[in-house]
Chain A
Amino acid sequence: MAKLKQWRPNKRNSHMSTNLKVKVWRGGEQGSFASYDVPRQGSQTVLDVVTYIQRHLDPSLSYRFACRVGMCGSCAMTVNGVARWTCRTHVAKVAADGRLEIAPLSNLLVIKDLTTDMSEFFDKWARAKGQFNGKQTRHDDFARVDPNSRERIAANAGIECIGCGVCYASCDVVSWRADYLGPAALNRAWTLVNDVRDTQRAERLRAVAGDAGCHACHTQGSCSEHCPKQIEPTAGIAGLKYLAAKAAIWGEL
C-alpha cells in the first residue's frame, strides 16, 4: 500500500491555508453544494471532516457512519468524484490542494444530504438469490470443504464484501440501466454458486443470467478498481457468464 503523506505545516507548505475548503451536497435528489471551512489536522480522514461540519458548523447535516474503522461499510460517499469509504480515506490523500467535494454515492436515491437509500441495492442482492440455502441441519456433522478446492478459492476471493455500495456507485452499467443487478449482488451470487453446501445453484444462475444480470456487464472493471476490499466483482461476473453458458448448453438454465 502506498505510504500516506501526512499533512503538517512546514516551510514548503506554510503558504497553504490551515483550513480546508469543503463543498458538501445539501438537499435530496435536487439540491446544491454548500461551502464550509474546516480546520486541517494531521491524519484527518474525510469522515472527520464531515463530522466536524455537523458538530461545529451545521448540525442539520445528515450522513451515515458506524464503526469508523472500515468494517461496517456505512460511511461510503463520493469524494472529489470518486466513491470511497470516508473513514479510511485520509484528507492528505485526496485533497492535496486543500479542496474537498463530498457528495452522496451515485446510482442511489438521495434521502438527504449525504445519506442515500440503500433499499434497491440490497433488494438486488435478494433478486440475485443472495441467501445461502443449505440442506444440512444442526444434527448433521460439519460439512467438509477442502480449502484448496477450486470452488472454495473462488468463493474466498469474493467473500469479504461488506456491502458498502462503492462498486455499485462506480458502475457505469448501473447508471445506464436501472434494473441491472450490479457488481455487489453478482459477486454475492458468485460466492454462493461456488459454495458446495448450497442447494440453489441452478435457480441462482437463472436469477443472475440475462440482460439485467451478469450479461449486462461490459467488463470495464470500475467495480474492481474502486473496491476498498480489493475484491474483483468483474472476475466473478465473468465466472457467472461462463457457468450460465455451460448450464444453457446442458439444458440446466
Chain B
Amino acid sequence: MTSAVTQARLWYWQRISAMVLALCVLIHLAIMIYAVRGGLSAAEILGRTRGSLSFGAFYSVFVLACALHVPIGLATVADEWMGWRGPKVAVAAGFFGIAIVFMGLRAVYGVVAA
C-alpha cells in the first residue's frame, strides 16, 4: 500500500483537476460550435489563434489539468488490471503525464506562436 498521505493527495488533485477539466470541456465545446458556424478551415483557425494570449493560456491550463488527471487514473487502472504497484506504476504514470505536457503544450505553441 502506498502511503495514506500520498493517496489522499492524489485524490484531491484528481478532484480539483476534474473540476478544471469539466469547465474546460464546456468552454472548448462552446468554442468549437461557435468556430464551425461558417465552415472550418486551417487558415480560419490559425487566424483566430495566432498571437492570442487568452487562447494560449486557456489551452495551456487544459493541457496541465489533463497531465495531472490522466496519470492518476491510469495508475489505478494499471494497479487493478495488471497488478502494477509501488514505484513501477508511479514512474510509468509520471512518464505518461510528462508526455501529455510535452505533446499538449507543443500543440498549443504550434497554433498560437509558431
Contact = CB atoms under 8 A, between A and B. Distances in A.
A253 B8 contact: yes
Interface of B: 1-5, 7-12, 15, 76, 79-80, 85
B84 to A, nearest CB: 12
B80 A176 contact: yes
A interface, size bucket: 10 to 19
Given A176-B80, A177-B80, A213 B4 contact: yes
A241 B14 CA distance: 12
B80 A209 contact: no
B8 A247 contact: yes
Nearest to A207: B4
Contacts of B10: 215
Q: Quick one: which of B76, B80, B85 has the most chain A CB within 10 A?
A: B80
B8 A244 contact: yes
A248 B9 contact: yes
A206 B11 contact: no
Contacts of B76: 211
Interface string A198-210: 0000000110011
Q: Which of A206, A212, A253 has the most CB of B within 10 A?
A: A253
Contact of A253 (B1, B4, B80, B85): B4
A211 B5 contact: no
User: What's the dominant secondary structure at chain B's contact region?
Assistant: helix
Contacts of B2: 210-211
B82 to A, nearest CB: 11
Nearest to B12: A245
Nearest to A172: B80
Contacts of A212: 1
A241 B4 contact: no
A203 to B, nearest CB: 11
B11 A215 contact: yes
Most central of B1, B8, B11 by chain A CB within 10 Å: B8
Interface in A188-229: 205-206, 209-213, 215
A210 B3 contact: yes
Q: Which 10 A-B pairs have the closest CB atoms?
A: A209-B4, A248-B8, A244-B8, A215-B7, A245-B12, A210-B4, A210-B1, A210-B7, A212-B1, A176-B80
Contacts of A206: 4
Contacts of A215: 7-8, 10-11
B80 A248 contact: no
A181 B12 CA distance: 21
A29 interface: no
Most buried by A among B7, B10, B85: B7
A245 B79 CA distance: 21
A248 B13 CA distance: 12
A179 interface: yes
A241 B12 CA distance: 9
Given A176-B80, A177-B80, A245 B11 contact: yes
Contacts of B5: 209, 248, 253
Contacts of B8: 209, 215, 241, 244-245, 247-248, 253
